[in-house]
Structure 1
Amino acid sequence: PFMRSVMEAPFPAPGRTVSVKSFLPGTGNEVLTLTRPVDSRLEHVDFDSLLQCLSVGRLLQVFASLLLERRVIFIADKLSVLSLCGHAALALLYPFTWQHTFVPVLPASMLDISCSPTPFLIGVLSPCLPELLELPIEEDLNRQPSDHQLSYCRPINVLTLTALSLTFCICIFSEDQVDLSSLVSEAFVRFFVELVGHYPLHMVESANGTKELQRDNFRKSHPSRGVRQLLQLFMETQMFAGFIQDKEMRKGTGRGLFEMRVVEYLESYPEPAPSGVNKFLKGLGDLCKFFHKSMTDLFFLIKFEVVL
């Protein structure tokens, strides 16, 4: 009866609870309340294994490929390494969720999956590598990215590399025991905050009462040209579409790490640049403020000299 109740109960949204009935001999029926964690991004995730297998530069290449929903194949000698690295790589995408094929360890009899034209993340054991290379995998899976493609990765590299550098400095110089997984996750969360943290400013209510994202305004409002180019690609992914839909469905639920960082980010988010008459009036106001400040500074300067 307990397992049946669990299977029949709807899967709760993060932060929500679900009640299931249980029968215990001697006590009769009992109602159990189960709560889904608001933020479970680090459950069963080990970034240490991923960082031991990949350099920071290679890690950012993998991250960029997953972010733009490309095809990625991990190859290792051990099953445990493939599984740990695969789950850790997808955990870097938080608060986004990978929407495509994920096979931590692909059996040798199913290597044909690597020929699929759709995005995937799969793990393959090293003994299967010769057979894998003989398959008609499309060229762009192994081809080096072009300069045009690399231009979209530069915002990813700059933002995340800076954050990761700070993370490693904290790990090296901190006297206290630090959790590497939490710090690495925080670095990539910061990247996503800088990338899409302004999305609440561009959510407008539609005719049917739901909120929709003003896509053009959202993309064009970012001050960085490189990030705007990256957003143009990223906004076409299923991850981004699922993220916006999930935020609309989860409104009013508890806040995770990303939501808390977005609130902090929006408090210091620059105001949009005015245009036309508003720009002229703002310039006039700034000029008045400048003269007022100059006269005030001059007054204090004169007063200071007189006192001396």
Structure 2
Amino acid sequence: MRREISPALVHPFMHCVMEAPFPAPGRTITVKSFLPGSGNEVLTLCRPVDSRLEHVDFESLLQCLSVTRLLQVFASLLLERRVIFIADKLSVLSRCAHSALALLYPFTWQHTFVPVLPASMLDICCSPTPFVMGALSPSLPEVLDMPIEEVSHFEGLGDEDCILPRKLQAALQEILDNREEILEQNTRDRNGDLSTLVSEAFVWFFVELVGHYSLYMSDTGPGGTRELQRDAFRKSHPSRGVRQFLQLFMDTQMFAGFIHDRELRKGGVKGLFEMRAAEYLDSYPEPEPSGVNKFLKGLGNKMKFLQKK
């Protein structure tokens, strides 16, 4: 195709693309082009709302793990525990491990991540530091015989169901359990995408959890840098369960990295989380429905928002 179009036509098109402002996630830009035989055309280019999901396979993750088990893994990751994925196939192992970490957005896993661990390196599982690793099923007996403490594999530690704030966990459970019905409804509205549904659900979990952080960022750090007022931020949340969870979560490297990035950031492109947090703060702290109903209402509004794009 490149050889069929004259550079004299390509260069103006590329210049027009380069001159157009970089769109925010989910927004579009229009670019004019000229093609022989077609005349002038206007192309509409849309930036994905969440480009992280282009290579993430939530379907495989939900096929391999029950919703209850998935939320247990999610809770373990949030507290930066050691997690080992076991699967029969390399492809499944890699897809599930990467998809599980994608659920942490806008936070980033800060520790060791080996999606497929060779059998000759299984002793790495004895590391005392947090990790996410994957091993093939034939290696499971050897893994179970290792002196590994506090690791979440098939059995877990037993407290995974009690880690997340109860109402937010119930909301995630309800959305994931009813995903087929939700997707069927949204398919009729041309928005039946599993990745979008799962992404929005977990993003709104974090919005409900820490979406108000920007209200407690002040210019009191060294050299006038922004700094989170940690105690005020945690105590401001109206939910006791969330406050208790934040007391643990705020000590993780994930939370430290998230806040450090925001302390250094001055404006810039906003991602999906920042967009949703801004929408959340538009009504903060006005009284709203609480718990599952509030969470589902927020997700429903976001799905409708996506349908309009």
Tell me, yes or no, if structure 1 residue 71 matches structure 2 residue 82: yes
Q: Which residue of 1 aligns with 2:55?
A: 44
1:80 corresponds to which residue?
91
In structure 1, what is the equivalent of residue 258 of structure 2?
243
8 Å CA contact 1:210–1:248 kept in 2: the answer is: yes
Between the aligned partners of 1:205 and 1:263, the Cα distance in structure 2 is 20
Output the CA distance in 1 between the equivalents of 2:276 and 2:184.
25
Change (3 A) 1:139 1:253: closer
Q: Per-residue displacement from partner, 1:176-223 (whole Å, max 9, x unpaired)?
A: 362211110110000000000000000011151111000000000000
1:201 aligns with 2:212: no
* Cα distance in 2 for residues equivalent to 1:118 and 1:226: 27
Residue of structure 1 in register with 2:183 after alignment: 171
Report the counterpart of residue 157 of structure 1 in structure 2. Answer: 169
Identity of aligned residues (%): 70
With over 3 angstroms needed to count, the CA separation of the structure-2 counterparts of 1:139 and 1:69, relative to structure 1, is closer
1:249 Cα shift?
2.6
Give, in angstroms, the shift of residue 113 of structure 1: 0.9
Question: How far apart are the structure 2 equivalents of 1:144 and 1:72?
Answer: 9
Q: Secondary structure at the match of 2:181?
A: helix
How much is the aligned-residue C-alpha RMSD, in angstroms?
A: 2.4
Quick one: distance in 2 between partners of 1:150 and 1:53?
19
Larger radius of gyration: 1
Conserved? CA contact 1:102–1:121, under 8 Å: yes
d(CA) in 1 for partners of 2:144, 2:285? 50
Question: Partner residue of 1:304?
Answer: none
Does the alignment pair 1:181 with 2:192? no
Q: Which amino acid aligns with 1:180?
A: L
Q: Residue 257 of structure 1 aligns with which residue? A: 272
2:138 matches 1:123: no
- Return the letter of the residue paired with 1:258: F
Matched, 1:104 2:115: yes
Structure 2 residue ranges without an equivalent (≥5): 1-23, 25-46, 288-309
Aligned residues of 1:41 and 1:94 also touching (Cα < 8 A): no
Contact 1:105/1:124 (<8 A) preserved: yes
| 1:139–1:66 Cα change, 3 Å | closer
Per-residue CA distance 1:249-282 (angstroms, 9 max, x = gap): 332111111111001000111169xxxxxxxxxx
Distance 1:146 1:62, change over 3 A: closer
Task: Find the aligned partners of 2:266 and 2:178 in 1 and give their Cα distance.
Answer: 33
Q: Distance in 1 between matches of 2:78 and 2:191?
A: 31
TM-score, normalised via structure 1 length: 0.71
Give, as a single letter, the amino acid of the residue that structure 1 aligns with 2:237: H
Structure 1 residue ranges without an equivalent (≥5): 1-14, 16-35, 273-308
Moved over 6 A (4+): none
CA contact (8 A) 1:163 1:190 kept: no
Q: TM-score, normalised to structure 2's length?
A: 0.71
Once residues 119 and 185 of structure 1 are traced to their aligned partners in structure 2, the CA distance between those partners, rounded to angstroms, is 24
Q: Deviations over 1:222-256 (max 9, x none)?
A: 00000000000000000000001112233211111
- Cα distance in 1, alignment partners of residues 48 and 152 from structure 2: 37
Pairing 1:56–2:63 present: no
Of structures 1 and 2, the one with the larger relative CO (CA 8 A, separation 6+) is: 2
TM-aligned CA deviation for residue 151 of structure 1: 3.5
Tell me the distance in 1 between the aligned counterparts of 2:103 and 2:152: 21
Rounded Cα–Cα distance in structure 1 between residues aligned with 2:49 and 2:219: 25
Hey, what's the Cα distance between the residues in 2 that align with 1:38 and 1:238? 27
